[in-house]
Amino acid sequence: MVTQRDVAKLAGVSVRTVSNVVNDYTYVAEETRARVRQALDELGYRPNLLARGLARGRSGLIALVLPLDVPYFYELSEYVVVEAERRGYTILIDRTDGQATRERALVSRTDRSAIFDGIIFSPIGLGGPELRYRTADTPVVLLGEKPVGASLDRVQVDDVAAAEAATSHLIGLGRHRIAAVGQPVKARSQTAQHRTLGYQRALQAAGHEFDPDLVATVTDFHRADGALAMTRLLEARRPPDAVFCYNDLMALGALRTLLSKGYRVPEDVAVAGFDDIEDGRYSTPTLTTVAPDKQQIASQAMDLLIRRLDGDAGPPKTARAGWQLMPRESTSIRSNPGHSL
């Protein structure tokens, strides 16, 4: 590996001068600076960014801790990587699959505070007080609804308003028995509770009676869970004529069940999801969904984290990212300006 000593020898200057040029210090003569840069190029010198960051008290590394078994978070991670790079940071990704034991292990590693400048984290299984305790030595920004008792910076989408808009869209189609798929059997994050609240508010605003039998519980947020929930709903004495699923994966599972049982979508049952993952844009029919602004979520998360790294010791802050309702073929509306917030 080429060192600064090699560059100094070729350029005929001191190692200190090479260091000053590499770190872009101003007090170097332009002729000398040009000679050093030529030597850097000839030898193909690449600075040790990690060593440089550690010398300044930072590593330049940020941990992104996500349940990557859900496509939404995989797509979101790409935006976070781009936003971090734009600010001169490198993202290292840890996969949790939403398991409390894995979340606990990843945020409790003793080397984490020494390696990472900060953590961007979407917790599902870890409780608030424990999360706050285990991340006390490292700046943390949460994505989504915070666990109860977690006093940390976070970025969230207004799940209540977005779920209300999706349900109102289904009501606007003239549907009367609208089901909701996604209330977890065991309480995890507040996200599902907020989406249920938005669903209920839309029904109330339209004068529809809330029927708890139309709220289908799930053990997880995957395709199989949506498919199973849809099967149970169709076996009811009065099956639904529309369904709002709390994420797109469950909506895709619901679509599969409906089509396999001979139902037409959206003629017999209209379907809406949440997340706007790529799969929903290519399903048959294409999936109506709520599209969170992933780029804005990533940008706001990085902004909050960097403010902490720059010394902000104020109270926890909450940033709200935008969202848009995207009507597609699963509700039969093919073009609509949507709703932004």
pLDDT of residue 260: 97
The mean pLDDT of the chain is 86
Q: Note the pLDDT tens digit of each residue in 236-270.
A: 999 999 999 999 999 999 999 999 999 999 999 99
**Residue percentage of the chain with pLDDT more than 70:** 83
Q: How far is CA 317 from CA 28, 140, 300, 301, in A?
A: 42, 11, 11, 11
So what's the pLDDT on residue 337?
Answer: 41
Rg (CA), the chain: 25
pLDDT digits (tens, 9 = 90+) for 312-326: 888 989 999 999 999
Name the burial class of residue 5, with classes exposed (0-12), middle (13-18) and buried (19+) by CB atoms within 10 angstroms of its CB.
exposed
For residues 185-191, average pLDDT? 75
Statement: residue 148 has pLDDT above 60: no
- Maximum distance among all alpha carbons in the chain? 88
- In the chain the domains, ranked by start, together with CATH numbers, are 4-47 (1.10.260.40), 59-157+294-322 (3.40.50.2300), 159-292+325-331 (3.40.50.2300)
pLDDT bracket for residue 28 (50, 70, 90): confident
Which one, of 273, 255, 253, lies nearest residue 264 by Cα? 255
Q: What is the pTM of this model?
A: 0.79
What pLDDT score was predicted for residue 341?
41
